[in-house]
Amino acid sequence: MKRCLIILCFLSAFVLFCSWGFFPHKLINQHAIYTLPPDLSYFYKKHEYSIKEFAVNADKRVYIDPAESPRHFIDLDRFEETDSIEIPWYKVKKRYDEQYILSRGIVPWHIESTYKKLVNAFYKKDIPRIIKLSADLGHYTADAHVPLHTTSNYNGQFTNQIGIHALWETRIPEKFYKGYKLYVGKAEYVDDLLKFAWDTVKESHALLDSVLGIEKELSQETPILLHRSYILRGQQIQTNYSDFYISSYHNRLNNMVKRRMKKSIYAIGSLWFSAWVDAGQPDLKSKFIPVEIDSLAIQKDSKFFGREEWH
3-state secondary structure the chain: CHHHHHHHHHHHHHCCCCCCCHHHHHHHHHHHHCCCCHHHHHHHHHCHHHHHHHHHHHHHHHHCCCCCHHHHCCCHHHCCCCHHHCCCHHHHHHHCCHHHHHCCCCHHHHHHHHHHHHHHHHHHCCHHHHHHHHHHHHHHHHHHCCHHHCCCCCCCCCCCCCCHHHHHHHHHHHHHHHHCCCCCCCCCCCCCHHHHHHHHHHHHHHCHHHHHHHHHHHHHHCCHHHCEEEEEECCEEEEEECHHHHHHHHHHHCCHHHHHHHHHHHHHHHHHHHHHHHCCCCCCCCCCCCCCCHHHCCCCCCCCCCCHHHC
Residue 22 has pLDDT above 90, yes or no: no
pTM: 0.87
pLDDT, tens digit, for every residue of 262-290?
Answer: 999 999 999 999 999 999 999 998 655 66
pLDDT at 158: 97
pLDDT over 90, % of the chain = 77
CATH of domain 2-310: 1.10.575.10
Mean residue pLDDT across the chain = 88
pLDDT of the residue at 274: 98
pLDDT of 298 strictly over 50: no
pLDDT of residue 156: 97
Mean pLDDT in residue range 36-48? 95
Tell me: pLDDT of 184 over 60.
Answer: yes
